[in-house]
Amino acid sequence: MAQTLNTKLLILGGGPGGYVAGIRAGQLGIDTVLVEGDRLGGTCLIRGCIPSKAMIHVASKFDAMAHAVGGSKDGIGLSVAPTLDMGQTVAWKEAIVDKLNGGVAALLKRGKVKVVHGWGRFTDAKTCVVDTAEGEVTIKAETVILAAGSVAAALPHIPFGGDVISSTEALSLPELPKRLAVIGAGYIGLELGSAFRKFGCEVTVVEALDRILPLYDDALTRPVKTWLEKAGVTLHLGAKATEWENNELLVEKGGETLRIPADKLLVTVGRKPRTQGWGLDQMGVDMAGAFVKVNDRMQTSMAGVYAIGDLVGEPMLEHKAAAQAHVAVETIAGQNRAFAPNAIAAVCFTEPEIVSCGLSPDEAKAAGIEAISAVFPFSANGRALSMEAGHGGGFTRVVARKSDHRVIGLQAVGQHVSELAGEFCMSIEMGAVLEDLAGTIHVHPTLSETVHEAALRALGHAIHI
């Protein structure tokens, strides 16, 4: 049965940008309707960040147990190899997703946000028609926030379907493939490729560039490459995937054609903003290439229409979308807000992990900044050694302007370094100088002590190296 709703604010998309916008709007007393065509939580919660980290966690546990068969150096030994029920693992992962999905729904309900489940399409900038299970719902709004997110990018000559899968399907496989081929050595390809290798799959990664993880410098990626090679992951760099036929991936490399047999082909060549299928072309907003163009208040060129998250540009990160949601809603509420972060941290959950915030030494040089940098190795950190994270070339690095010691970058590679991201980002956001990091008493024994030591080393008086 057709229905018409009138609202102050309409949010398209219930991902980390959209649902955070809804919750904040509820807190501010703004009459809000949120439209979601899938499950609340978006890519990150339902089929990306959370489920992938759950699978990576299980893979690491399985791998550690497998290496304990017959005894290990820390005294733990197993008499038989561990077994894996992939269906049960997937079910456990889905239980986590379900819990978080339910939490989002409860928070929106508490904020008195009306959620309309169904695929929405705009007929003009302020009118959205939603196909729901109960019939068509037309929503007329005074203000709109677009939070449509992104989708996995496909290769035109190797489309998704059958045994050609994206990360979404990879996280829900009922059984392990014996052989997995991965196109793309970015963070998604290597996070999942590493996890499947830990599960015992034969993994081959094909990358068109001559290096892995191109968003990070060589110093940060070297420990990851070392682990991949040691773990038996086959890397084909400077190689181009040309065809998939009869469960074989054809690859051009160095003038030769390689044939890589695989049970599944995981394509991870990036993500693109979801701009099709919901009426963006009817809204009259300006574009910035493939993305919706916005200003620092998240306003588009159409009055009363805002856009946030993956839809508006890189980096495509959950925490960026959530931060932009606050700016958009609070601007709508009449507050003086702007999205102007000094830095946005990014984490790669490979083996080992990488975290980066701000500028690397090379990026500082390219920007014309005379900088000083220093590295403190995990091999000299007690906490790292005590939890078997001191090997593999891990380190923390600080980058600062030479003129005033202002911290402009912090990076780390090693096990568990994702938990340093908060300190990294806070240091840059608050305008810390090297003396601030060096003068802050860091708890012992923790990995955070490497931040303190790196700052001391940059000042010329490191203690433990």
Q: Could you tell me how many residues make up the chain?
A: 465
Determine the angle formed by the axes of helices 318-332 and 16-27, rounding to 10 degrees.
30
Spatial contact of 21 and 325, defined as CB atoms under 8 Å apart: yes
Q: Which amino acid is at 368?
A: G
Question: Which of the following is catalytic: 444, 452, 461, 464?
Answer: 444
Structural contact between residues 346 and 324, judged by C-beta atoms closer than 8 angstroms = no
442 annotated active-site: no
CA gap 315, 53 in Å, rounded: 19
For residues 185 and 237, give the distance between their C-alpha atoms in angstroms, rounded to a whole number: 9
d(CA 120, CA 137): 9
Distance CA 373, CA 454 (A): 8
Instruction: Return the ∠ at Cα 358 (arms to 447 and 20), rounded to 5°.
Output: 90
Token pair 């995937």 in the structure block, residue: 241
Q: With contact defined as beta carbons under 8 Å apart, do 169 and 154 qualify?
A: no
C-alpha dihedral, 89 to 90 to 94 to 97, nearest 10°: 80
Residue 136 to residue 132: CA distance in whole angstroms: 6
Catalytic center residues: 444
